[in-house]
Amino acid sequence: MIPVRGYQGQKVAVLGLGRSGLATARALSAGGAEVLLWDDSAESRQKAEAEGFGMTDLSRHGAFDGVACLVTSPGIPHLYPQPHKIIARALELGVPVDNDIGLFFQSWGSSDWDHFDQMPKVICVTGSNGKSTTTALIHHIVESAGRPCQMAGNIGTGVLSIEPPQEGEILVLELSSYQTDLARALTPDVAVFTNLSPDHLDRHNGMGGYFAAKRRLFAEGGPDRAVIGVDETEGRFLAGQMSQGPQDDRVIRISSGEKLELFGWSVFARKGFLAEYRRGRQMASVDLRDIAGLPGAHNHQNACAAWAAARAIGLPPRLIEQALKSFRGLPHRSQLIASREGVRFINDSKATNVDSAAKALQAFPKIRWIAGGMGKDGGIADLVPHLGTVAKAYLIGHSARDFALQLGDVPHEISETMEQAVARAAAEAQPGEVVLLAPAAASFDQYPNFEKRGEDFARLVAALPGIALA
């Protein structure tokens, strides 16, 4: 645990008692604060009370008397489409509003560091797609180098629940736009921006607000190194703002597809090869094409981001290359489940929107595509340009028939259930093809979350006769 510093003997209110909220309450208490807890859910309040915490209804009159700060969970709206009524009241009263990320950066350093020869560092990863894979890949690389490393944030452990850092330790944090938007302190040593595509627009009042939330990690934090994907206009704009010119190597530009030779420091992937350039000279080159844990151009961009972050903390190319080759990928993200007679089975259940599904469809040459669920606005119309690799689609769930109407001439069938889709796709797949679960839809019509959907796919694949698990 990281005890929260700066509030000893003061009242701090905590709104939202999920994983991060309870971790925040524990860390505040450990730092000597008096915590006032509330959640609109009776079930969540009961879980907190089972740990010995008392409840304070923060909506009642006078609840904020003497309160030094309100700490809110990331899932609770603090600005758009409108702030939660308790947050709105805190703002009316001038009570500072923060989140666990802000408290973490406020409390990360300690007097123990006075005895360290090598200071701990924080690498933060944000962006629209690839955050989790990039975060996990950086963690894998650092651990492979023999350096102490922890991973937390939007992936795995809450930031205030991690162990106090050892000498020379690297902490890798995945940060969502909800987290970067509100944190009052953001001071990473290395900040990574993967890419930007429309997401969470209601919470940010459009693309401008969404980008502004991501940009705070760089503009507010002033990292020593900024790793920035420049395949979109926003990334190019951010890189320009963070650098004093094209040769400023405090910014490491990354790309999947564009050659970046003119900058002070860049890492890019083209035609399956990763290249690192510094001041016009190639420093390293890696063939990514046969790395099973990083299939497709979107994962090659993730590899570029992780490579750049690892180089920014001084790790050598040879070691990073070895770590890339041993990376097995994250569950439900282009995850190789099994193979049979030349057919591979890939679980990308995390592809819950059109953009992520498009990246998955571009990663393999010939696909038996399992898609469907609770479709989002517009369905899969924007996927039509990316369907050239699809031999046949097997549609499941609530939106199966709506998706079928948008497929044009692509062969397809309505499978309804995952069980039928897996059985039919496996029976019809030919050697060299991939059976790909990339739903382009939410899971809530048939599964509680995308993880359960992916696990069901993996279970059904594992039960096929003659299957060889990865």
What's the rounded Cα separation, in Å, for the pair 164 and 27?
Answer: 12
The helices-and-strands tally (H runs, E runs) of the chain is 15, 20
Q: Which residues pair with 393 in a beta bridge?
A: 369, 412
Go through 37-51 and write b for each residue having 16 or more CB atoms within 10 A of its CB, e for each that does not.
Answer: bbbeeeebbeebeee
Contact 170, 147 (CB under 8 A): yes
Contact 103, 25 (CB under 8 A): no
Q: Token pair for residue 155?
A: 């992936």
Q: Which residues contact 46 (CB under 8 A, 6 or more apart)?
A: none
Residue 171 is given by DSSP the state E
Binding residues for ATP: 127-133
Instruction: Say if strands 434-437 and 121-126 run parallel, antiparallel, or are unpaired.
Output: unpaired
SS3 351: coil
Residue 157 is given by DSSP the state B
Residue 335 is given by DSSP the state E
Q: Where does residue 470 rank: exposed (0-12), middle (13-18), buried (19+ CB within 10 A)?
A: middle
CA angle, 406 then 456 then 422, to 5°: 55
Contact 114, 282 (CB under 8 A): no
What's the rounded Cα separation, in Å, for the pair 355 and 440?
Answer: 8
SS3 106: helix
Instruction: Say if strands 273-278 and 265-270 run parallel, antiparallel, or are unpaired.
Output: antiparallel
Nearest to 124 by CA among 235, 213, 225, 196: 225
Q: Residue 117 region, left (φ>0) first, then alpha (ψ -120 to 50), else beta?
A: alpha
> Quick one: which H or E segment has residue 456?
helix 450-462
SS3 282: strand
Q: Token pair for residue 391?
A: 């031999």
CA 138 to chain centre: 12
Binding residues: 127-133
CA angle, 123 then 126 then 127, to 5°: 150
